[in-house]
Amino acid sequence: MDRFLRALQLEDRVYEEVASDPRSLAQSILLMAISSLAAGVGGSGGIVENMLPAASTFLTAWMSSVVVIYLVGTKVFPGRVRHNRFLPLLRTTGFATSPGIVRFLGFPPATSAIVAVGATLWLFGAMVFAVRYTFQCKSFSHALRVCIPGWIVYLAVTMMR
């Protein structure tokens, strides 16, 4: 719970801890699943039958973006770490989905768009922090360059539903 709250606050050290702690993978997957469910509830327009498809869309979008970020971060704009960092990336980006839990607040259709935009921006910021520590990027702008292609994929997948 402590790491979750620190991830919500975009605390740098939590991403360093998670990247180097193989035991945090289960927590990371749980946070990502809860965030996807929150997106399903918030993005369903209040229609129960739409909740699971919306949640799976966000889960697919997240996984797709992580794969793209991994490829960009290891092949196109490698940081100081050039070896396999996929599992640490899964752990840190799973924690970076923590802000997505606020998407539960988008359940009333009147708040859905505002919550979705705010959560997406917060998620993007958290993802940049996660990538910065996973790939040991030299600067914030380096991490941003690694994340942007993944977020283009993320947005494309979520807009297709």
Residue 13: how many other CB atoms lie within 10 Å: 10
Expressed in angstroms, the distance from the first to the final Cα of the chain is: 32
pLDDT, residue 60, reads 92
Q: How far apart are CA 92 and CA 28, in angstroms?
A: 7
Helices (H), 43-139: 48-71, 86-96, 109-134
Q: How far apart are CA 122 and CA 161, in angstroms?
A: 21
pLDDT, residue 159, reads 83
Structure tokens at 5: 């709250």
Q: How far apart are CA 92 and CA 136, in angstroms?
A: 12
Q: Is 84 left (phi over 0), alpha (psi -120 to 50) or beta?
A: beta
pTM comes to 0.84
Which domain, by its residues, includes 72?
A: 2-160
Q: How far apart are CA 63 and CA 48, in angstroms?
A: 24
pLDDT, residue 63, reads 92
Q: What is the pLDDT of residues 86-100, one digit of tens each?
A: 899 999 999 998 888
Q: What is the pLDDT of residues 101-124, one digit of tens each?
A: 877 776 666 667 777 788 888 889
pLDDT, residue 64, reads 95
pLDDT, residue 80, reads 67
Low-confidence ranges of the chain (pLDDT < 70): 43-46, 80-84, 106-111, 161
Task: Give the CB-side neighbour count of residue 49, counting CA atoms within 13 A.
Answer: 0
Residue type, position 123, single letter: L
Q: How far apart are CA 160 and CA 48, in angstroms?
A: 19
pLDDT, residue 84, reads 67
| The total number of structural domains that make up the chain | 1
Q: If we measure between CA atoms, which residue out of 81, 64, 75 comes closest to residue 127? A: 64
